[in-house]
Structure 1
Amino acid sequence: MKASLNEGIEKSTIIVITTLFIVLILTNVFGTTMTPMIWDPAIHFMDSIKYYQAIRTLSPHSMITIDRYYPPLATLIPIPIYAITGPDPRVGIFIENAVFIVILVYALYKLSEFTGSRVPSIIAVFAVLTSPLILDQAITFMLDIPLTAMAVLTWYLLLKSNGFRSRRYSVLSGISLGAGLLAKWTFPIFVMVPVFYELNLSISPLTLGIRGILKQRKNELKNLLTLSVLAVLVAGWWYIPNFKALLSALKYNSQVSGALEGDPPILTLQSFIYYPSSSINYYFGLLGTIVLIGMFIVVLKLRKDDFESLLIIQIITGFLIFTLTRNKAPRFLMPMIPFMGLVIGIGIHKIFKRKKYAAIAVTIVLMVSGIVNVLTFQGVISQRTLIEDPNMIPVSGGRIFATGFYESRIFGHVEWAEYLKTDERDWNIKEILADINDTSDDPVTLYILAQNPWISWPLRYRSLMEDKHIDVIEPTNERNIIPLLSADYVLYTEGGFLSEPWALDYVKRARAIFKKYNNITREFYPVSRYKFPDGAIGVLYARRNSTPLPEEKSDSDNCENISAVFGNSIELTRFCIYNLSEISRSTVLITYTWKSLKKVKKDYIIFVHFTPKGSIDAKFQQDHGPCGGKCPTSSWQPGDTVTESYVVQIPSGCYTIRLGFWDPASGERLEVDEIHNDGYNRAIVSTVCNDESHAIITNGTQKRR
């Protein structure tokens, strides 16, 4: 009777803590001004909309390639509610996080079966739900809380399988493993310890040999096979078709992204203190981290069973693996927080058996830490900086805080303060979308000449929500500069928070190119002006349906009408070269306008060859799909005109420009009319020269810098 009463109190305590947490998140998501989602949260919310639309339109096959990098579990969860409310960022954020928080708490409670008491699970739930990182991530659309929940649930199910002797728990483990893989590809790191432990149980003792294991462990091996098949069935539909693209992206991110974002190099002091620093700022706060260290030592010294050893091994292994990777972020180790919470709970429980009042004192310190974290998150208590040393501390701008670091809060990012106070209305998102005409079935391209994520990302997801066919592009790399002058609309602003430092040069170049090009051609005309919260004025430009031959060009620019016909289907009507030496040394901007004469069935690639004087062989070239691949030739209708542009640096010397179309399937080129054909189905359209002093000369006209 007493045991039953105690269990009821323990369950009620966990339910109360969880309910308070969900109410807290509910009020923060629905009861406050919502800053526009940017970067990863916006991507995940957009994926959620795309999955919803795919299911609504009965085209589930398209779900495989909606996102080839991020698995879909978290983004699928809000879809049943979208069927009632329609896609909504607040609904998506709340439903996704509430569902997985409940799963996480349930799994923590069930895991306490292996501790001999429910008390550690109560302490762990409190420590987890007052963690600065959990609080911060629960009010945005991310994958890390779902990943954390699935890791803890899978731990419980694997341990209950008892070396795969239990068919029920082996089946459930297989489903959970597959679902965990669909949460995020780092999932195996957080469950590998119980996986290897259960494998060892299933085949031990090894002295049996292979034949003995096959004979005496037949049931376990069958259950293991069932588990494996179920995991593949649950996760394979996404991983198998996307594996190659995913592997390439993961390789790039592991080698390049960390360096671009300024993460510390591997095997440096900053790399080794990155995640310990994160424990103070992101995982538990200062007091909570002190409690964690103390209880970790207690459990390490007094551990008596395999479960406690497994927790210790998992925590050490997780920290070590992510320390030895270049791409770092505190949230990458979020799944360690519940395991560290259990260590805290087990440690306090062990102390209680020996020194009751010491355990009560530690519990009070933990409670104070958690309450202070929540009050800081709510802005009731100010965030206090303990240490500031950007040269040493690799997280949070080189600062260690007493009560946690909250990226979603104004006080968390001082440099973002003015932006985090804003909402979509401040950034004129609704007005910009209303000013864009997307009545045709073809996507409209909007090019944003500002590295301001509070403009670009809400434009992306709002256009999806409103079923508008708008492709938003920013100059984040060399490749993304190419579509600029082929865009249907350009949003120009000199302001904006330059969110990605490595893209700054591309932004400046794209702005300079657009100003020079439009000052000459007047191809884009202003539609609307907007005032943004950062004080910048944005101007939306639209492309004219037809543009006369420009006249306001400089001596070093050349633009002329041409009538070169390819395959009796496509006509090159105009070819222009603009000198950009004042923007970037020895650089020219080339634009050309195509006119579709009749329907083309194939998707041809455009090639542009630069051949040295007196030679027919290309010294350098540029092959590309029309509009950077966004307007394939098979989509061109008779009478359509397509204007393209690209920027190229010219080596010293003079070059003839020859261009044409080729079929990537057969390698054959479209035939060029006799007047322009150089004998190799390339149209000769112009010449460009760069002398030793880096003057750019086009068609014999020279302008020195």
Structure 2
Amino acid sequence: MDSRPPVWDMAIHQSYAFNYLAFVHGESATMPFWAMSGYYPPFVHLLIALVWFVSRPDPQLATLANLPATVVLLWAVYELGAQLAGRTAGRWAALITAFTPYLIWMSRETILDYWLSAWVAASLVVLRRADGFLHRCRSFQLGIVMALGLLTKWLFAAFVIFPLLYVVIRQRVWQDATRLRNLVASLLIAAALAGIWYVPNLAGMLRFFRQKDAAGALEGEPPPLSFESFVYYLRLLEGYQLFALLFSFLMVSCAFVWRKRLIRDAGFLAVTISGAWLVLTVLRTKDPRYTMPLLGLLAILPGAWIQSWGNAWPAGACKMLLTATLVLQTYVINFGASWLPEAVVLAEGYTGSLRWDWNLYLQHYFHILGPPRLEDWRHGEILHKIARHAQYNGVSPSLGVAPDLPRFNANNFALSARLLGSTAPVSRLV
């Protein structure tokens, strides 16, 4: 059991979930419904609120909102792998996705990008089933899934725009009235459903995006059109999302898949991955969680290569070795291994607010993600002491927090206050 409070964004999202829970209980009449999740779309916050509604508000229980996302993600990766390479490839792609270190870590956090990964993969499955917008029902389903993706995070658009364009151009949708009508209907459904939240929040979102861009510069992220920017996510893929062994296996798989043409519609997968990668590269604000939706798609490549091995005993031995490696790596990142170094750095990387290295493996992610720990950051003790002091002096309690540490900042203090039923406002002292 991990007793630590949620870190920055995770605490923010749980606090927003509290707004919806309070709304259900009739306690947030002064706040418009569309404003309860701040500048973030509300889907994940609503799910967390639902979990709390049927149980109780608790940071550990909040992560149960990710369980359906895991099911959707693994199903979608399997379906994509089966469509593009074969059922065996799909099964291995789903298995590799399930054992991807960064996805395992993030599945235990209340972060939007985990559900975003699920909706991106699901939208690609439905897009391919729509057969170039030939099927009306599938096109309508795509509109609904795209709306859910947009209501999870605005970044969803960066992952679907290029595969959409690929299908439209390849099928020459504009030359077929049926396909064109279905395309327009799909886009209108997505816009109408997502617009319920986006329209009233548009002005605030634009301000938020400008702040995020400025924050990227302040945090020392590389300029968009620099060499460091172009290798940034490649380094994060190797050093923090897959680690060296799985990354090397992916690179070898890419070579064999390309050489043997093991993917039936390689253009679709290539455009989807490279298009989103390019968009994220040119954004000034960068973070490994932004490329999470690509991890399941990348797993299709080693899945296709493994399928080509056949069933002879050498192939079986290699599959057993790969599975054992994935299981061992998963154990280490979940529970730790005292007999191994916490991290093995292959080469030092780019330094901004943090240093992003090329790593053989890690047992933790900057001591934020990793094995659970029993730690008491004394949030409750501090809040109770403030309440007693305010009551003694006959004033309203309030708290200003100067440190901005992962587990000791204004965001998780605000969440702790709500969990304890405190009405004390919490603000960050800059």
TM-score (norm 2): 0.88
Residue type matched to 2:74 in 1?
Answer: V
Q: Check the 8 A contact 1:124/1:338 in 2, yes or no.
A: yes
Residue type matched to 1:164 in 2?
Answer: F
Q: How far does the alpha carbon of each residue in 1:210-237 deviate from its partner, in whole angstroms, 9 at most, with x for none? A: 7xx3xxx332233223212211222111
Q: Check the 8 A contact 1:69/1:249 in 2, yes or no.
A: yes
1:327-342 paired onto structure 2 within 5 Å: 327-342=285-300
What residue number does 1:571 align with?
A: none
Q: Check the 8 A contact 1:127/1:366 in 2, yes or no.
A: no
Establish whether residue 67 from structure 1 lines up as the match of residue 37 from structure 2: yes
CA distance in 1, matches of 2:154, 2:396: 32
1:94-113 paired onto structure 2 within 5 Å: 95-113=64-82
**Greater Cα shift, 299-308 or 317-326:** 299-308
Q: 2:25 aligned to 28, 49, 56, which one?
A: 56
Q: 1:370 aligned to 317, 326, 331, which one?
A: 326
Q: 1:401 aligned to 359, 366, 370, which one?
A: 359
What residue number does 1:533 align with?
A: none
**Cα offset, 1:339, TM superposition:** 0.6
Establish whether residue 431 from structure 1 lines up as the match of residue 384 from structure 2: yes
1:451-466 paired onto structure 2 within 5 Å: 451-452=404-405, 453-454=407-408, 456-466=410-420
**Cα offset, 1:361, TM superposition:** 5.9
Establish whether residue 379 from structure 1 lines up as the match of residue 340 from structure 2: no
**Cα offset, 1:40, TM superposition:** 0.5
Partner SS for 2:131: coil
More strand by percentage: 1
**Greater Cα shift, 138-147 or 297-306:** 297-306
CA distance in 2, matches of 1:182, 1:341: 26
More helix by percentage: 2
Q: Check the 8 A contact 1:50/1:66 in 2, yes or no.
A: yes
What residue number does 1:78 align with?
A: 48
What residue number does 2:211 align with?
A: 252
Q: Check the 8 A contact 1:33/1:423 in 2, yes or no.
A: no
Q: How far does the alpha carbon of each residue in 1:318-360 deviate from its partner, in whole angstroms, 9 at most, with x for none? A: 323222222111111011100110111012223x25x956754
Larger Rg: 1
CA distance in 2, matches of 1:87, 1:38: 17
What residue number does 2:233 align with?
A: 275
Task: Structure 2: give runs of 5+ residues left out of the alignment.
Answer: none
From the superposition, tell whether residues 224 and 267 of structure 1 become closer, same or farther in structure 2 (CA, over 3 Å). Answer: closer
Q: Check the 8 A contact 1:384/1:401 in 2, yes or no.
A: yes
Partner SS for 2:412: helix
Q: 1:239 aligned to 194, 198, 214, which one?
A: 198
What residue number does 1:603 align with?
A: none
What residue number does 1:230 align with?
A: 189
1:439-458 paired onto structure 2 within 5 Å: 444-452=397-405, 453-454=407-408, 456-458=410-412
**Cα offset, 1:38, TM superposition:** 2.4
Task: Structure 1: give runs of 5+ residues left out of the alignment.
Answer: 1-31, 205-209, 477-705
CA distance in 2, matches of 1:135, 1:335: 13
From the superposition, tell whether residues 427 and 454 of structure 1 become closer, same or farther in structure 2 (CA, over 3 Å). Answer: farther
1:12-27 paired onto structure 2 within 5 Å: none
Q: Check the 8 A contact 1:281/1:405 in 2, yes or no.
A: no
CA distance in 2, matches of 1:203, 1:262: 43
CA distance in 2, matches of 1:434, 1:59: 22
**Greater Cα shift, 283-292 or 463-472:** 463-472
**Greater Cα shift, 265-274 or 161-170:** 265-274
Residue type matched to 1:65 in 2?
Answer: A
From the superposition, tell whether residues 247 and 356 of structure 1 become closer, same or farther in structure 2 (CA, over 3 Å). Answer: farther
Establish whether residue 289 from structure 1 lines up as the match of residue 244 from structure 2: no
Q: How far does the alpha carbon of each residue in 1:406-432 deviate from its partner, in whole angstroms, 9 at most, with x for none? A: 32747979xxx9xx7523447624534
From the superposition, tell whether residues 165 and 410 of structure 1 become closer, same or farther in structure 2 (CA, over 3 Å). Answer: closer
What residue number does 1:474 align with?
A: 428
From the superposition, tell whether residues 271 and 394 of structure 1 become closer, same or farther in structure 2 (CA, over 3 Å). Answer: farther
What residue number does 2:110 align with?
A: 141
Q: Check the 8 A contact 2:98/2:104 in 1, yes or no.
A: yes
Residue type matched to 1:470 in 2?
Answer: A
What residue number does 1:674 align with?
A: none
Q: Check the 8 A contact 1:410/1:421 in 2, yes or no.
A: no
- Specify which structure has the bigger relative contact order, considering alpha-carbon pairs within 8 angstroms and separated by 6 or more residues: 2
1:171-570 paired onto structure 2 within 5 Å: 171-200=140-169, 203-204=172-173, 213=175, 217-254=176-213, 256-303=214-261, 307-350=265-308, 352=309, 359-360=315-316, 363-364=319-320, 366-377=322-333, 378-380=335-337, 381-389=340-348, 392=350, 397-404=355-362, 406-407=364-365, 409=367, 422-425=375-378, 428-429=381-382, 431-432=384-385, 434-435=387-388, 444-452=397-405, 453-454=407-408, 456-476=410-430
Identity of aligned residues (%): 23
CA distance in 1, matches of 2:28, 2:178: 40
Aligned pair count reads: 423
Establish whether residue 89 from structure 1 lines up as the match of residue 59 from structure 2: yes
